[in-house]
Structures are given as structure tokens and as C-alpha cells.
Chain A
């Protein structure tokens, strides 16, 4: 494929407006856009090469929409993912519930996917401690329980963002040797799913 060679598929998951797009934006474009909140439509894909030791690994990052509308479709975004960055907003306890949902989803369907639990908007909490709704240790305990890495980031200041993705890439590099079936990264083009059209039925 002439477009790009992607080594590891990384998927961003989490409740809407927790800041998944901002996190990607900060990491890929080194910027933080101030302005009215705009939700992601469907999902956005961006490929980013990253240096790990003496190797360059290309992360294919899928920034998914948090809206419930796309929930039925989320599997196509996380299928075959090597890493999932499950985001929650440090100032919104409901977003942590949602993060638990995604973790469960991943554990059920994507057992080889490493989970990175990421608390966002750390700058808000640092500015005013009373805004924090998710205790660091609670999140840390949860992360240990599910065998995940835990980060608290701020896309506004950039704090911990590069570290997060660096860790993702390093972990991939270390485990890539174990799974030599690396071609799971993208989409199996030969395989036709379902019928010509499919409808996604809401299952609640």
C-alpha cells in the first residue's frame, strides 16, 4: 500500500468531550486548539512515526467519536488494535464509568489489546483541586486490577502526553517480537463483512 505502513493500531476510546481529539492533536501537531467544543464525527485516522531506540515505529491512531450514536460501530475501530488509550475526564466522574465500560468491552473482544488508562484535563485539576472528581489512587488501583498503565495528562500544557504515546510505542516494540502475526494492524481487505449494507441496531 503506497499510502503508509502502519505498525501498531492505537485506538482512543472514552466518553464524549473528555478530550480524545485534543490529546491526539497535542501529540501529533503539538498544539492545543482553544475554541468551541466540536465533536468528532465517526472517527479520524492519523499515522505518526515515533522513534523507539534505534527503530521507527508508525502508530496508526484512531480517534473515535465518543457519542453513543457510534457505539455500535466502535468495534471496527478497535478490532486488531495493539493499544487502547481509554480516556476519562479528571473532573467528570461519569466519564470514569464510561471508561470502565470501554475496558470491559476491550477485555471481552480484544484480549491482546494493551490498555492505557488516561485521565485528561490535569491542568484544570492543578488549577483548582476541588474540581478533581476522580482520585488518583482509585484510578491507579483500577488500572492495576485490569493490568493497565495509568497516566494523567494535560493536552493544554502538554504534560505527560508524549510520555504516554512513547510508552505505547515502547510496549509495542517489546511485545512485537512475541506476536509475529503483525499484519493484524489494519483491515482484512479480503474479508467481506455482513451484507452489502448493514444496519446498526441499537442495543440497550
Chain B
């Protein structure tokens, strides 16, 4: 899978007009020279913790080449008019039901539907699946209709509304959006939902079920997990980590972090593959088995699982979890517990052996005993009090907010939202703007290396090199020259702070 992804990535990189020489020239000419991959601020000193992924290309370019994709897009666009009629019929027939026919239901910004290849509803973000069975039937009809012509339906664009299809046998995922998100962004989100479902059941089990009973109602097996998917969708709207395919860290002095990592490293066991210490949604440290890497997507699924449920607070959790980017066929077993009852520090020990609960429990005790003897534990607890930082610390007055991702480490950093973006709507709007910049930088055929945009409410600058991705948000009064100067100043600040903001020396057992 990853091999394919790389091929696909290479193919579009070759497809750009910029010859390789020019890229090198640009890099050398960039105001902060030497920022090649692996030397950018935040890059790990030894090795990365994560599967090396070209940000999100490996998500979307997984299955097909871009050329084919473009061709299909055209196809679905020309067919759009006809297919939309079908959709309208469907909406009329379902309008008899209360809930899903209401204007309020229709006007949700983004709908997500999951159905089986037999057209059976599995999940809807809003409303109930029962009420939507005819609508989902129509969705499946559209997919099969286009498939019958040996083609694949990708999206339908009509009247400010976008319908994006993702077929991942035995599931079909459909996103309906009124936002200005690109198809690719939508597809990325659907992919996440797909992986969320796989993480609960494994792909092997999914296939097995539908091979034996095409008509199976998967909701039986997913019962009680809907809120995980709901939460994941919420995160997709708000969490920059999911956009950047990266994870953010709890700011912590590197000396303290190293002690925590070493304590975790010492508490090892034969079946232990990953030890992950979280503070809320922030990574404190991650220790992994040699040669085993965790993928961001898998880590985000773990974050989502832990963050969505208070059930791990009651005792020690022990749950099967499939990490789909690692292996879609089998379950790992995760020991999940909080270090102290009211603490936000949550330890996740990922084991290969389902019988190993008490062994993992013992690892946790050993880690805790070791850690609590050292002053680093106090430093860590202190750090929990300010899990984020204000943009004012950077000392650039016109800078409001930014996202910085170190590509080689897969980690990003970002300050808390400033006063102007306090409300949920404003924060989601800003995230939407970042998404837009992101899709310009990662356009499948015409990726940009930098992008500057002025608007009434803010000025934005995005900049990508082989080593990092940077997204900045300025007050609307600034100029482009100011913005570029600010970007350079920010880079220096991040370099200065990198050992606090990033995990520079990740450990293995």
C-alpha cells in the first residue's frame, strides 16, 4: 500500500512543471537556508517516530493514479445533471419522514453517510439510519450505475453542494458538503471514517461478514461506537493535526521529557509495541519497538478513542484495537489508564498479546514508580498547567496564529487561538482557511510552494519546503513583505524553542 502511495506521489511530482533543479534552486535561495528535510526545526535527532509519510498524499493517492482520477472526475461532472435528478427524487420520497426531511437537517454544513455495498445504512452523521435507508439506496444505485459502465463515481457538484464518494469495499462512504472544501479534503475525511470503522472491527472481519451475508446490518456490530465517529468528524473540523497528518506535543523542557521517555522505555515487555503518554490531545512521549512505526492516522484514532470516552477513568481499560495503517488484519490490545484519577495524563500500552493484561498493568506500575521518584514528574505536572502557549511569545505583533509542521518528525506546533478567534464558529472558519491553503499546497496536479492571500478579515501565508509546512494568519492590515519577514522570524523562534515544542530524541525499547 505504501509502495503504491509513493509511486503515486512520485508520479504527480514528476507531473509538475517545475524541474527538480528549480526546486533545489528555490531551496538554496530560501531566506532560511539549510532547511532541507531532516534539519528543519522539530526534526528528530535520531529517527522519526512515525511511518514516513508525505503528509497526506499517502492518504488520498493510495488507490489510483491521479490521471485516472481526473478522467473520472470529468466523467462524473458530465453526468452530474442526470444523477442529481435521481437525488432529488430520493429527497422527495424521504420527505415524508419527520426528522431527516426538515430544513434544519438539510442545511447541515457537512453530512457523512456510510453504507454497505448492498445499500444498507451503517452510519449517518445527522438523523437516524432507518429514516435514510431509501436515500442510501439511491447513493448505492449511483455508485453501481457508474460502475456498470466500468467507471467510478467520484463526485457530484451542484449548486453550492458537493457530493463525494469513496468506495472501500465492502463499504461505501459518501460526504455531502456545503463548504468550500476540495474533493481531496473531503476524501481524506471519508478515509478517516473508514479507518475508524476498520479500527473497531478489522478489515478481515468486515470482509468475512459481508462475504457470508451481503445483507448484514453492520450497525449491530458497531452499536455504541457511533459517538466515536461523531467525535472524529468533529475533530476533522477543528484539529489541525488531522489536516497536517501530524501530532502536537505538550510543551515540556527536553530534560524532563527525556526522563519521562527513559522511564517509559525501561518499563518494557516482550509483547509491548508502543507506549504512548498523552496529556489530553497532546503527545508527551512515545516509545516504540525497534523497526515498528506508528502512523499518524493510527495515532489519531487512538487519540479519538481515548478522548471520546470517560470509561477509562474508572479503572484500567483493556481493549482490542486494530491500527489500520499498521495492519488491517488483526487486533492489537491496548492497556489504557490514567496515571492519577483526576490527571489528564493517559498512558496507552499497545500489546500484541490479548492475554497480557496483567503484564501491561505491571509495566504501568513500573513506569509510575520510576517516574514518581524523579523531579521530572513534578516538571511534567507543572507543564500540564499550560499545555499551550500564546502567539504573543513569538514577538511578532501582526501575527495572530500559525501552524508549523516538521515533516521529518511528523510533529506540529501551534499556539492557542487568539482573542479574535474565540468562538467555535470563528475557530472553525480559521481551520477552513487553513484547509484551503493546504489544498493549494497539496493540489494533485498543480501544487504550490507558497501562497499569500489578503482578505477583509485576515491575511494568510502558506509556505512548504521539503522540510516543513508553515501556515500563518496575520491581521488584515499587514503587507506581504511583512508577512515574509514574520515567517522568517517565526522560523528562528521555533528553532530556538524546538527542544521544548517537539520530541527531538524519540526512544525505542
Please list the residues of chain A having a beta carbon within 8 angstroms of any beta carbon in chain B.
1-4, 16, 21, 24-25, 28-29, 38-46, 61, 63, 65-70, 73, 76, 186-189, 191-193, 196-202
Chain B's nearest CB lies how many Å from the CB of A130?
A: 27
Instruction: Specify the chain A residue showing the minimal Cβ separation from B321.
Output: A42
- Which 10 pairs show the lowest CB-CB distances between chains A and B? A42-B319, A197-B330, A46-B315, A39-B224, A44-B315, A3-B365, A199-B204, A45-B316, A67-B224, A69-B221
Residue of B220, B314, B320 touching A73 (CB-CB under 8 A): B320
Task: Give bound CA distance, A24 to B204, whole Å.
Answer: 34
- Please tell me if the beta carbons of A188 and B355 are within 8 angstroms of each other in the complex: yes
The CA of A170 and the CA of B256, in the complex, are separated in Å by: 48
- Docked Cα-Cα span, A187 to B269, in Å, equals 15
Using Cβ atoms and an 8 Å threshold, which residues of chain A touch B200? 69
Q: In the complex, A68→B366 CA distance in Å?
A: 34
- CB neighbours (8 Å) of A67 from chain B are 221, 223-225
Q: In the complex, A68 Cα to B310 Cα: how many Å?
A: 20
Q: A42-B334, A76-B355 are in contact. List 11 more A-B contacts (CB 8 A).
A: A3-B358, A24-B314, A28-B314, A41-B317, A43-B317, A189-B355, A189-B358, A191-B355, A197-B332, A199-B329, A201-B208
Contacts of A201 in B (CB 8 A): 204-205, 208
CB-defined contacts of A66 to chain B, threshold 8 Å: 224
Is B362 a contact partner of A192 (Cβ separation < 8 A)?
no
Q: In the complex, what's the smallest C-beta–C-beta distance from A123 to chain B, in angstroms?
A: 21
Given known A73-B320, A189-B355, contact A197–B311 (CB-CB < 8 A): no
**Chain A binding surface, main DSSP class:** loop
Complex: chain B residue closest to A1, CB-CB: B362
Nearest-Cβ distance from residue A165 to partner chain B, whole angstroms: 15
Residue pairs across A and B with Cβ atoms less than 8 A apart, 15 shown, are: A1-B358, A2-B365, A16-B224, A38-B227, A38-B311, A42-B320, A43-B317, A44-B311, A44-B315, A46-B315, A67-B221, A187-B355, A197-B329, A199-B202, A200-B320
Binary contact readout B206-244 vs A (1 if CB under 8 angstroms, 0 otherwise) = 001100000000001111110100000000000000000
Q: Is the CB of B362 within 8 A of A68?
A: no
- Whether the Cβ atoms of B318 and A202 lie closer than 8 Å is no
Determine the distance from Cα of A29 to Cα of B310 in the docked complex, in whole angstroms.
15
> Please, which residues of chain B bring their CB within 8 A of the CB of A3?
358, 361-362, 364-365
How far, in angstroms, from A8 to B311 measured CA to CA in the complex? 23
Chain A positions within 8 Å of B480 at CB level: none
Verify if B353 is at the interface (C-beta below 8 Å from A).
yes
When distances are taken between beta carbons in the complex, the residues of chain B under 8 Å from A28 are 314-315
Provide the bound-state CA to CA distance between A189 and B305, in Å: 27
Contact mask for chain B residues 320-337; partner A; CB cutoff 8 A; 1 contact, 0 none: 100000010111101000
Kindly state the separation between the CA atoms of A192 and B479 in the bound complex, as whole angstroms: 65
Chain A residues near B227 (CB-CB < 8 A): 38
A193 touches which of B319, B354, B362, B364 (Cβ 8 Å): B354
Q: Contact at B362–A41, with CB atoms within 8 Å? A: no
> Is A197 touching B361 in the complex (CB atoms < 8 A)?
no
Contact B354 A21 (CB under 8 A): no
The distance in angstroms between the C-alpha atoms of A4 and B315, with both chains bound, is 13
Task: Note all chain B residues with C-beta closer than 8 A to A189.
Answer: 355-356, 358-359
Chain A hits for B220, CB < 8 A = 68
- Tell me the minimal C-beta distance from B30 to chain A in angstroms: 45
Category for how many chain B residues contact A? 35 or more
Interface residues of B (CB under 8 A from A): 200-202, 204-205, 208-209, 220-225, 227, 305, 309-312, 314-320, 327, 329-332, 334, 352-359, 361-362, 364-366, 369
Distance to closest chain B CB from A37 (angstroms): 9
Contact (A25, B317) CB under 8 Å given A45-B361, A197-B330:
no
Residues of A close to B312: CB separation below 8 A:
41, 44
Question: Nearest residue in A to B224 (C-beta to C-beta)?
Answer: A39
A186–B357 CA distance with the chains assembled, in angstroms: 9
Chain B minimum-CB-distance residue to A201:
B208
Q: Which residues of B contact A68 (CB under 8 A)?
A: 220-221, 223
**CB-CB under 8 A for A42 and B318, given A69-B222, A73-B354:** yes
Q: Are A46's CB and B316's CB within 8 A?
A: yes
Q: Once bound together, how far apart are the Cα atoms of A193 and B364, in whole Å?
A: 23
CA A182 – CA B222 in complex, angstroms? 37
CB pair A198 B330 closer than 8 Å: yes
A129–B416 alpha-carbon span in the complex (Å): 54
Assuming the contacts A41-B317, A188-B355, asked whether A69 and B311 have C-beta atoms less than 8 A apart, the reply is no
A4 to chain B: closest residue by CB: B361
The reply to whether A39 and B314 form a contact with Cβ atoms under 8 Å apart is no
A44 lies within 8 A of B330 (CB): no
| B317 and A44 within 8 A (CB) | yes
- Judge whether B315 and A202 touch: CB under 8 Å: no
With A38-B309, A197-B352 in contact, do A44 and B314 touch (Cβ < 8 Å)?
A: yes
Find out whether the CB atom of B330 lies under 8 angstroms from the CB atom of A69: no
Contacts of A25 in B (CB 8 A): 314
Q: How far is the CB of B218 from chain A (nearest CB, A)?
A: 10
Indicate which residue in A2, A65, A200, A202 contacts B331 across the interface (CB closer than 8 Å).
A200
Say how far A118's CB is from chain B's closest CB, in angstroms.
Answer: 18
Contact yes or no, A202 B354, CB < 8 A = no
B353 pairs with A193, CB closer than 8 A: yes
In angstroms, Cα B305 to Cα A128, docked, is 37
B457 to chain A, nearest CB (A): 36
User: What CA separation (Å) do A199 and B205 show in the bound complex?
Assistant: 7
Q: Report chain B residues within 8 Å CB of A45.
A: 315-318, 357, 361
Instruction: Provide the bound-state CA to CA distance between A180 and B220, in Å.
Output: 42
Contacts A42-B320, A68-B221, A202-B205 given: A186-B314 contact, CB under 8 Å?
no
Which residue in chain B gives the minimum CB-CB distance to A73?
A: B320
The answer to whether B314 and A69 touch across the interface, beta carbons within 8 angstroms, is: no
In the complex, A186 Cα to B361 Cα: how many Å?
12
Task: Specify the chain B residue showing the minimal Cβ separation from A39.
Answer: B224
Q: Which residues of B contact A40 (CB under 8 A)?
A: 311
Residues of B within 8 A of A61 (CB): 315
Shortest CB distance B131–A (Å): 21
